[in-house]
Structure 1
Amino acid sequence: MAITDVAAYAHLSPADVEELGIRLDDLRSEIEASRGSRDANYIRRTILFQRTLDVAARLLVHASASRTGWMAGTAALALAKCVENMELGHNIGHGQWDWMNDPEIHSTTWEWDMVGPSAQWRYSHNFRHHVYTNVLDIDDDIGFGVLRVTRDEPWQRRNLLQPLHNLLLAVTFEWGIARHGLHSEHERATSTDEQLEQSTSFKQKVRRQVLKDYVFLPALSGRRWRRTLTANVTANLLRNLWAYAVIFCGHFPDGAQKFTAEAVRDESRGEWYLRQMLGTANFDAGRMLAFASGNLCYQIEHHLFPDLPSNRYAAIATRVRALCDEYDLPYNSESLLRQFFQAQRTIVKLAVPDRFLVATADDAPETASERRFLAEPSAPGAGLRTALRHAAERKMAQRRSRRRRVVSSLLVPSTFV
């Protein structure tokens, strides 16, 4: 099932893992030492761009008389919300810009344009998800408590409806994230009064957000309130769908591995880095697509260095890919469409009982462990990437052999007595 021994799965010795950790620590130190005005200017320009785009989009929706103007304004508003959600809210909430000591652009003061309070999201995301990425029974982001995305979770009858649950989650993603954050806060609360306080904070944020988007801003538009209301609803829907796609492409495509709690017991710094590299995935993106995704197309780099400035991830990715080549580790990066398709295939596939699935629980695209290599160990010196390639070649050869046997049986004439 899930990986128990990260180093064994990665085909690395303890010395290799330690060396990898040191080199990644050195990379972190290098980036931290080079932060400066260029990075500060980037985030300030991004904030100015996002706020200007938001205002311009709302004015276009209000002032235009045509359907085309409404559509253009709504699309611009959706983009502004995506940038605010991921490049600003998400990344600032990670503390990527805390080193600037700017009280406005700080993880403890920034409140994002989402229904859930940023403070509640920071605990569930920054701690439970990023520290314990893909660790079963600790990281609640594995399926968000709604979807079965690994065979480590026993199949239940309700999983038959998971394609529908998946669609509902995509459409209402900001609400799912908000409830997810509240659930994590309730789990760590020490008293009923504390839980009540957290619920009150959650309800207050929801009230402010709903009133802003669906009451106050439409009311400011006077007789054109319907245009503003529908634009806000549509922009929020598009933002939800895009955020859902970006997150799922980074966490649930083939090769994004899961881990047992035993795997993180007495975990070293190098093992932590290695687990992040094995448990996440990138999607290929140019500068515009990367910006629209909050640079979360570099999910591997983000999980290695969640509090380093996002504008550095593209350069960091080149260095991380080179390390993967050197240590013969896979670097999971494919096109956006391919990663999204693989994630959706896993969700649909795992909606049915395991007895209808072909691959074993230790050797499936979405669920694997170090036991997948027991039957036929890799050659000495071969790393994980080579071992996976050989395993794929063996599977392909077995399929071809089965097809040949089937064809041969069809071609041999039957004997009648």
Structure 2
Amino acid sequence: MNQGGTTYDELKEMDPHGLCEDLEVLRKETYGSLCHKDYLHLRRVEWYGRAASFLGYLTIWIAVNPITAFLLSLGQFTRWLLAHHITHRGYDNVPGVPKRYTSKYFAMGWRRYIDWFDWIHPKAWDHEHNYLHHYHTGEADDPDLVERHTEFLQNLRIPKLLKYIFVAIAGLTWKYTYYAPNTVSVIDPSTEKRIQKGHIVFITILNIFDFRRAHVRKLWTSCYLPYGLFHFALIPLAFLPFGESVALIVLLNKLLAECITNFHSFLVVAPNHTADDLYRFSFHYDRKEEFYATQILGSANYGCGSEFVDYMSIWLNYQIEHHLFPDLPMTKYREIQPKVKALCKKHNIPYKQENIFKRFRRMVDICVGNTKMMGLTRFPDRTDALASLPQHHNTTESRQNLPFH
């Protein structure tokens, strides 16, 4: 079944072995070129966020307005940007990088409240996103499979407009209604150690108040209460000496900023692997060449190439390159993107790149049931069968896999 993506005959023309060989050469060259400039760029991006936060808080008390809210939102989103690339070990091997910008130290322990104070728990994010998502992309063990998460919405017999409204509400709230509970679910609530895939029971919006569960208590004590009280109670109260109306303005600007940063991240993150021209996989890759090919077949890029566009997309517009080499500094993705695209063309690997708003529309169409993703039951060079996946999307047991990079 093909819905705007690649046909079976085109997939048979892929040369994953040749692609793998060329990507390994590119990988060696790229990792060998890490330099101090990569760290300086990281610091510059950090200051983008600091400047946005400073201007936001400088004007937060004047009036409720979208400019202040956007600046506050951008400052918060920049901290997620930094966390994403640093916890991916993107700067661990950069010459001259201070240890606080490495994955072992950034946002760990008390540094969480300085480096990345968000709804999301850093250790939980590391396991849920950096391992489970990245090394099971599009598979049944991928915790961020949007099409699976929205099956209930696709099947609801309600007016389509209500489905679109639901997606909009989800986008405005998803860091605390989806990402915080989804990530906390993958760590032990007492030790914060990783839980093996077969033993994970995810928290959902339906059991988010079931305080009998240790994971739910962890979610509230480590995520909801600290973040919520600080941003929506303590900060507005700090302005109370200037009058109740000023404190109310601060609160409303903070709430508006929260909605903006949620939807901004939803716009950038959610469409990366969800569209009618991307694949889900009912198998787990065996070899590195399969890993490379499935990451490309299940990912899409947005427009890229300029500092402003890349920053506003938090460098996730290079999603294909990021999934091939997840532990690179941000600057390297811009450098290698044309090379990766050329290699895909050389080896007949479909390379999807489109305007972010078009990719977002494709994702929304999946969520509301207008379209479906394509599916591979086997890797093409293993007597592949191309099929539309059933709602339950069964899979073979995923084998233990360690990151290649």
Q: TM-score, normalised by structure 1?
A: 0.73
Report the structure number with the largest CA radius of gyration: 1
Partner in structure 2 of residue 42 of structure 1: 41
Letter aligned with residue 247 of structure 2: W
Letter in 1 for 2:79: E
Partner of 2:66: 71
Query: Which residue in the other structure is 2:173 paired with?
Result: 172
Query: Is the 1:251–1:280 Cα contact (8 Å) retained in structure 2?
Result: yes
- Report the 3-state secondary structure (helix = DSSP H, G, I; strand = E; otherwise coil) of the residue aligned with 2:93: helix
**Aligned with residue 230 of structure 2, among 212, 217, 223:** 212
The percent identity for this pair of structures is 23
Tell me which residue corresponds to 2:127. Answer: 123
**Code of the aligned partner of 2:135:** V
How has the CA–CA distance of structure 1 residues 198 and 20 changed in structure 2, closer, same or farther, with 3 Å as cutoff?
Answer: farther
**Deviations, residues 65-100 of structure 1 (Å, cap 9, x unaligned):** x55xx4322221122222222x21222221111224
Aligned counterpart in structure 1 of residue 91 of structure 2, from 91, 97, 102: 97
1:395-410 superposed matches below 5 A: none
Aligned twin of 1:229: 251
The correspondence of residues 264-343 of structure 1 with structure 2, limited to 5 A, is: 264=284, 267-285=286-304, 286-343=306-363
Equivalent position SS for 2:321: helix
Q: CA deviation at 1:238?
A: 0.6
The residue number in structure 2 matching 1:414 is: none
Q: Assess if the C-alpha contact under 8 Å between 1:185 and 1:198 holds in 2.
A: no
> What corresponds to 1:376 in structure 2?
none
Measure the CA separation in 2 of the matches of 1:158 and 1:121: 34
Q: Structure 1 counterpart of 2:340, which letter? A: V
- Structure 2 residue identity aligned to 1:76: L
| Cα shift readout 1:252-278 (whole Å, capped 9, x = no counterpart) | 1231111012xx25x110110000000
Asked whether the equivalents of residues 20 and 292 of structure 2 are also in contact (C-alpha less than 8 Å), the reply is: yes
Relative to structure 2, which stretch is displaced further, 179-188 or 160-169? 160-169
Q: Secondary structure at the match of 2:119?
A: coil
Give the direction of change, closer, same or farther, for the CA distance of 1:198–1:309 in structure 2 (3 Å limit): farther
Who is 1:245 aligned against? 267
Structure 2 CA distance, aligned partners of 1:167 and 1:232? Answer: 19
Q: Deviations over 1:96-127 (max 9, x none)?
A: 11224533212233232321201111111111
Q: Which amino acid aligns with 2:146?
A: G
Cα pair 1:147 1:162 within 8 Å, conserved: no
Question: 1:113, 1:209 within 8 Å by CA — same for their partners in 2?
Answer: yes
In the alignment, is the contact (CA less than 8 A) between 2:301 and 2:317 conserved in 1? yes
Distance across 1 between alignment mates of 2:47 and 2:375: 45
Q: What letter corresponds to residue 180 of structure 2 in structure 1?
A: A
Bigger Cα displacement from structure 2, 275-284 vs 88-97: 88-97
Contact kept? 2:147, 2:367, Cα under 8 Å: no
Q: 1:255 to 1:163 in 2, by over 3 A?
A: same
Matches within 5 A, 1:103-142: 103-108=99-104, 109-110=106-107, 111=112, 112-135=116-139, 137-142=140-145
Q: CA deviation digits over 1:187-218, x for unaligned, max 9?
A: 639799xx837843662232211111101111
What is the deviation of 1:31? Answer: 1.5
Distance 1:173 1:240 in 2: 6
Aligned to 2:394: none
Given the alignment of the two structures, is residue 51 of structure 1 paired with residue 34 of structure 2, yes or no?
no
CA distance in 1, matches of 2:158, 2:281: 22
Instruction: Return closer, same or farther for 1:254/1:144 CA change in 2, 3 Å cut-off.
Output: closer
SS in 1 for 2:317: coil
Per-residue Cα deviation, 1:127-164 (whole angstroms, up to 9, x for no partner)? 111001001x211211286313xxxx997558987545
CA distance in 2, matches of 1:260, 1:206: 35
- Give the corresponding residue for 2:374: 367
Q: Give the TM-score normalised by structure 2.
A: 0.75
Q: Tell me how many residue pairs correspond in the alignment.
A: 340
Tell me the residue number matched to 1:359. Answer: none
- Find the residue that maps to 1:258 and give its secondary structure: strand
Instruction: Give secondary structure in 2 for the equivalent of 1:333.
Output: coil
Specify the code of the residue in structure 2 equivalent to 1:210.
Answer: G
**Quick one: structure 1 residues 154 and 346, their matched pair in 2 at CA, closer, same or farther if it must change by over 3 Å?**
closer
**Distance in 2 between the 1:130 and 1:242 partners?**
21
Name the aligned partner's letter for residue 84 of structure 1: R
Q: CA deviation at 1:287?
A: 2.8
Structure 1, unaligned runs of 5 or more: 351-363, 374-383, 385-417
The CA RMSD measured in Å over matched residues stands at 3.2
Amino acid in the other structure paired with 1:105: Y
Inter-partner Cα distance in structure 2 for 1:72 and 1:154: 33
Q: Does the CA-based 8 Å contact 2:69-2:260 persist in structure 1?
A: no
